[in-house]
Structure 1
Amino acid sequence: MGLADYYRTLGLRTGASFEDVKAAYRKLARKYHPDVNPEDQQAQDRFIKVTKAYEALLEVFYPDDDVVDDGPDDELDEAEDVSPVQTNPGLSEHEQKLKQDSYQQLNVLLKQQKFPRAIALVEGLAQRITHDSEVRQWQAITYQRWGRELITQGQLGKARIYLDKALKTDPLNKSLWVEINRDFQAIEQKLT
């Protein structure tokens, strides 16, 4: 499961704030908690999925586990720890470690809005680990975030280039298509 999937599981757009993630988790955790739905296996499975997505996103916002809110209640802390990076059996141990470290660095760079550095990092990782779909997804998201920033700076031609690169990098990502469509609409509005 990729980063965008975790946001989607919580009903959020990719890049939502920590407060939005926390609020969405609390709402869904209350709705699907096993104590509220003791006979409903689907609700319990959904609760586990929501909790795993929340914990994975916590790693994005607090990669060093310094100040982490474990959820709304102590009784909701039943799910196991989940790494936001998928284990790929096709990768060596060294490549998996490189991927995990790069993921954490990438999130820091994106939070700090250091998009050119983030692009350099993710492009280097994509050259090193060419067959990993999750790395391609990160690359596409990074291009899209940089494209959106370029729109706010009024660099519409350059923004269009990076948004196109994002679509070409991860063409099957539906949530990315939705976000990029919004970005293209923003470009059109600025042109009119």
Structure 2
Amino acid sequence: MHLSECYRLLGVPRNATLDDIKVAYRRLARKYHPDVNQNDPTATDKFRLVQEAYKMLKDSDEKDLSKEIFSKNASTNSSTNASTNAVRSPAAPPPPKAPTPKKPPQPHPKIKIEVKQVNNQIDPINSDPELRLKLDMLRRVQDLLKQKKYIVAIAVVEGMSERFPNAPEVVHWKAVTYHRWSSELILAGKLREAEIYLNKALNTDPKNRELIFEVKRDLERVQNLKNG
């Protein structure tokens, strides 16, 4: 997920402070939390997207702060070393300075304070057509799985994978769909086809430990049925 998409997900401008980002994240996290959206099958995906966006922006802000501190420390050390060298090297005493005429006191400059406003009325997820399309298609995949229309679900999720190749939630549901279909094939006694889709699920989302555990267990089951 790119930083620009993270800003768009949270509904904040690119020059937003970390406090602005935290406020937007808390608002959206409360809105999309699965515990208060039990009738919405896409709430979990929305909540996960908001969490990932906040984590990436927070990590990016911390990296920028570390670079700034390092730069200031390097500049301070350089100035200190230069001062030390100047003290150590012998130099002729400076000539006496002429008295400096006193200047009349100057008025303090006016400080312009910029106040940022965060618009809490905009729903960044529902206002983004690409995100809305992705979530609507994920909802359709979940409905198809509930109806056991696995072939149609596979066609939909594979089409989504071409359009959103780097979306983690699409990868997740693609692997889940392959696994659900393989389970039906095992029950139907179609062990060879089941093994094909189990391997597809394994290769699609290899970082999902829970899913990989179930897939490997089913692969062992298929092998035992073949040998039996």
Q: TM-score, normalised by structure 2?
A: 0.48
Residue 84 (str. 1) matches residue 45 (str. 2): yes
Task: Return the alpha-carbon distance in structure 1 between the equivalents of residues 186 and 170 of structure 2.
Answer: 25
Task: Return the alpha-carbon distance in structure 1 between the equivalents of residues 37 and 224 of structure 2.
Answer: 35
1:58–1:95 Cα change, 3 Å: same
Indicate which of 161, 165, 179 corresponds to 1:126.
Answer: 161
The alignment partner of 1:59 has SS state of coil
Q: Which residue identity is paired with 1:59?
A: D
Unmatched tracts of structure 2, length 5 or more = 1-28, 54-124
Using the TM superposition, give the Cα deviation of residue 56 of structure 1 relative to its aligned residue in structure 2, in angstroms. Answer: 5.4
1:185–1:109 Cα change, 3 Å: same
Contact 1:95 1:129 in 2 (8 A): no
RMSD between superposed Cα atoms in Å: 2.8
The answer for the alignment partner of 2:203 in structure 1 is: 168
**For 1:117-153, what per-residue CA distance to the aligned partner results, in whole angstroms no more than 9, with x for missing partners?**
0000000011011111111111011011111111111
Q: Which residue identity is paired with 1:154?
A: G
Counting only pairs closer than 5 Å after superposition, residues 1-192 of structure 1 correspond to structure 2 as 52-55=33-36, 58-60=39-41, 82-85=43-46, 86-87=49-50, 93-191=128-226, 192=228
Q: TM-score, normalised by structure 1?
A: 0.56
Using the TM superposition, give the Cα deviation of residue 164 of structure 1 relative to its aligned residue in structure 2, in angstroms. Answer: 0.5
Query: Which one has a bigger Cα radius of gyration?
Result: 2
**For 1:24-52, what per-residue CA distance to the aligned partner results, in whole angstroms no more than 9, with x for missing partners?**
xxxxxxxxxxxxxxxxxxxxxxxx99x94
Task: Return the alpha-carbon distance in structure 2 between the equivalents of residues 55 and 189 of structure 1.
Answer: 43
Contact 1:143 1:166 in 2 (8 A): yes
Task: Return the alpha-carbon distance in structure 2 between the equivalents of residues 94 and 142 of structure 1.
Answer: 25
Identity of aligned residues (%): 37
The answer for the alignment partner of 1:24 in structure 2 is: none
Task: Return the alpha-carbon distance in structure 2 between the equivalents of residues 55 and 174 of structure 1.
Answer: 27
Using the TM superposition, give the Cα deviation of residue 171 of structure 1 relative to its aligned residue in structure 2, in angstroms. Answer: 0.8
Contact 1:146 1:162 in 2 (8 A): yes
Contact 2:34 2:44 in 1 (8 A): no
The answer for the alignment partner of 1:30 in structure 2 is: none
Contact 1:115 1:142 in 2 (8 A): yes
